[in-house]
Amino acid sequence: MHIPDGYLSPATCALFYAGMAPVWFVSARKAERALKLKQLPLLSFGAAFAFVIMMFNIPVPGGTSGHMAATTLMAIILGPWAAVIALTLALSLQAFFFGDGGITTLAANCFNMAALMSFGGYYTYRLISAGAKPLQGAEPPRGDAGRLRRVIASAIGAYVAVNIAAFAAAMELGIQPLVAADALGRPLYAPYPLSIALPAMMIPHLLIFGPVEAFGTALAVSFIHRTDSAMLHAAGGAGGSLKPLWILLAIMIILTPLGLVATGTPWGEWGKGELAGLVGYVPAGMHRLGEMWTGVMPSYGIKGLNAVFGERLGSVAGYVIAATAGSAGVILAVYLWGRIWRK
Amino acid sequence: MAQITGIPPWFKEARDKPCSTRDARGKGDGTEPFLAKTLSNIASAAARLLDSEECAGRPGLLQGLNPASRIAGICSVIMGAAITKNPAMLGGIILLTAVLAFASRVPPAVLVKRVMPAFAFTAVIIAPVFFMANAGFKAGVFIIARVTAMTALTALLALTTRQTDLFRGLRRLPVPQFFVTALFMTFRYIFILLKMAEDAAFAKKSRLISRAGLRQSQSQNQRWFASRVALFLKKSLDMAEDVMGAMASRGFTGQVKTFDGEGLRQRDYIWLFAAFFVFFLSVGF
């Protein structure tokens, strides 16, 4: 996932350096506050650990092996802010001494693999493990629901983190033909559009690298929980508020109406009429099955809403109601799941 | 020479590598593949971290420069390579890299070895571009050349800069001191953890018997992996605590004071002028 030098345009690289500068600053401050004077050796050892653990191959089911980035594990142990700094240090050394990633693309790689992975993995872990039995002593009883839940949470967190980072990297690479081309329209940096970059990055990460990272993280968290669970919150990794996550979710929900600005049909979501226009015919199976289930709110609309508010305002209201209902449904499901698990 | 007796025949057999567990059927090395890969990764990482010291110790053009001006100059040429849209300019930067490598007495084989992975990876990735209607052969070659030039320059910087010089040079540039100090410490600790990792992998390998029936199960290997991760993590946290205690007892308050070495000399100014000239030329082209 390390983006090498020469794949991103200078403008993209500059944007990421500008974007990461405050993240590094805040991370250093937060880590300093959380870890006090311990921070320097701890962050350095954390970075060295992340560096070395990437050398280890995990024996995965099926007889093959792969290596993990251990970012989510680091975020769980050190806390996400400290993990951002530790991973930045590790990525800097990799870029300089190993040529893994590049100097101009360092900030973009740090954004993907240090920031997104740390926060994505950590908050997914926290969200799923919230309410798990508290860590007590060195050896929690076997079969402890808290342990199982934490292990599953860490695996899902690692899987989500890897795929968020891969998605970001694919987006960064995929927009290059749009933002940097010569006078004849030929690409100057990563040459493939999003339609190629996204599946090329996401398919291996969804099917191979994500499961390997999840598996490795789950193995490590399970072992640590069984042998020395105090380590799981040794350096500020556990505890803390989930408030930032809820704020982020609220912002995303508020920003949902931005979808109304988009024009045209998303790739692959064509209706039968559009498909017929594009390829000249509608496959028989699609024709037959397409009418079977049109959803509770087909095309994000509610019957009768257009008649009351008019077509434009009705479609906007329908879109916002659909987004609100969807978000509420997901939060309700997570809440119920948490309640059931707690029992 | 008297025949040595009492030593079992297998002991006298030449082995291709230490602790080889080549099985009786001769079907490859009986070592667990994940373990062999781990050992190979560790060995290659350690070799890479150390081999630049040898090149950096030679007398040469880049080695004779102040570390800060060397870093700033090479970074500006890297940025030039990133910015330029002109194939001739990019060709000039590649030529300049080759001249710098020669003048700095960097063996071509070492440089090529460092550049080859990025070149090969990019060549494979870019191959379909040669057949794309909106791109074509020229665009594909240009992208490969740009990646190669930038990787070669980064490798040249790494190969001509001692580790201590790198951190001293970064300290004089607008890089936060906190970050440089942490980077320096990370570099030191990597060696400690790499040694620990190598010992762990060798210890595991030396206890393996390759006979199919005696090989460890997948779950045993996975348990071993998990235990090593936990061990390294525990050791890292403990060592961080010890180092902090040692630093605090010596009066460490968070501020690191180091000797920055001598300032810029005439040759540094000439080098910086040349490097920035290349950069500004790239902006124009």
Domain count, chain B: 1
pLDDT tens profile A121-157? 998 988 888 766 555 554 544 445 577 888 899 999 9
- Indicate if A232 and A277 belong to the same structural domain: no
pLDDT tens profile B139-176? 888 999 999 999 999 999 988 888 888 888 887 777 77
User: Is B160's Cβ below 8 Å from some Cβ in A?
Assistant: no
SS (H, E, C) chain B: CCCCCCCCHHHHCCCCCCCCCCCCCCCCCCCCHHHHHHHHHHHHHHHHHHHHHHHHCCCCCCCCCCHHHHHHHHHHHHHHHHHCCCHHHHHHHHHHHHHHHHHCCCCHHHHHHHHHHHHHHHHHHHHHHHHCCCCCHHHHHHHHHHHHHHHHHHHHHHHCCCHHHHHHHHHHCCCCHHHHHHHHHHHHHHHHHHHHHHHHHHHHHHCCCCCHHHCCCHHHHHHHHHHHHHHHHHHHHHHHHHHHHHHHHCCCCCCCCCCCCCCCCHHHHHHHHHHHHHHHHHHHC
In this structure, is residue B259 part of a structural domain?
Answer: no
Structure tokens at B101: 């490598």
Cα–Cα nearest to B232, from A105, A223, A148, A286: A223
Report the distance separating Cα B149 and Cα B117, nearest Å: 13
- Indicate if A170 and A226 belong to the same structural domain: yes
pLDDT in the model for residue A266 = 59
DSSP state of A225: H
- Domain encompassing residue A312: 260-342
Identify the CATH number of the domain in which residue A108 sits: 1.10.1760.20
In this structure, is residue A251 part of a structural domain?
Answer: no
Residue B15 pLDDT class (50, 70, 90 cuts): very low
User: Is B93's Cβ below 8 Å from some Cβ in A?
Assistant: no
Q: Which of residues A13 and B237 earns the better pLDDT score? A: A13
pLDDT tens profile A199-228? 888 888 898 888 888 988 888 888 888 877
Cβ <8 Å between A219 and B134: no
Report the distance separating Cα A125 and Cα B238, nearest Å: 25
In this structure, is residue B22 part of a structural domain?
Answer: no
In this structure, is residue A1 part of a structural domain?
Answer: no
- Indicate if A171 and A289 belong to the same structural domain: no
pLDDT in the model for residue B90 = 92
> Count of A–B CB contacts within 8 Å?
240
Cα–Cα nearest to B146, from A307, A329, A180: A180
- Domain encompassing residue B131: 33-176+266-284
In this structure, is residue B212 part of a structural domain?
Answer: no
Q: For a pLDDT cut of 70, what percent of chain B falls above it?
A: 80
- Provide the b/e sequence for A32-42 (b: ≥16 CB within 10 Å): bebbeebbbbb
User: Which residue from A41, A51, A96 is facing B158, i.e. has the nearest CB?
Assistant: A96
A14-23, A106-115, B185-194, B204-213: range with lowest mean pLDDT:
B204-213
A228-237, B33-42, B55-64, B187-196: range with lowest mean pLDDT:
A228-237
**How much is the average pLDDT of B241-268?**
75
Task: Quote the minimal CA–CA distance from A330 to chain B in Å.
Answer: 33
Domain count, chain A: 2
- Indicate if A179 and A272 belong to the same structural domain: no
| Chain A interface disruption, residue of B233, B234, B244, B280, most A CBs within 10 A | B233
Residue B21 pLDDT class (50, 70, 90 cuts): very low
- Indicate if A222 and A281 belong to the same structural domain: no
pLDDT in the model for residue B23 = 42
Of these ranges, A214-218, A329-333, B236-240, the one predicted with the greatest mean pLDDT is: A214-218
Cβ <8 Å between B182 and A51: no
pLDDT in the model for residue B283 = 81
Strand partners, A64: A60
| Chain A interface disruption, residue of B222, B229, B247, B249, most A CBs within 10 A | B229
Cβ <8 Å between B158 and A227: no
Summary mean pLDDT of chain A: 77
Model ipTM? 0.79
Q: Which of residues A122 and A314 earns the better pLDDT score? A: A122
- Indicate if A235 and A271 belong to the same structural domain: no
- Indicate if A105 and A160 belong to the same structural domain: yes
Q: Which of residues A169 and B12 earns the better pLDDT score? A: A169
Strand partners, A67: A57
Domain boundary among A239, A273, A291: A239
Residue B19 pLDDT class (50, 70, 90 cuts): very low
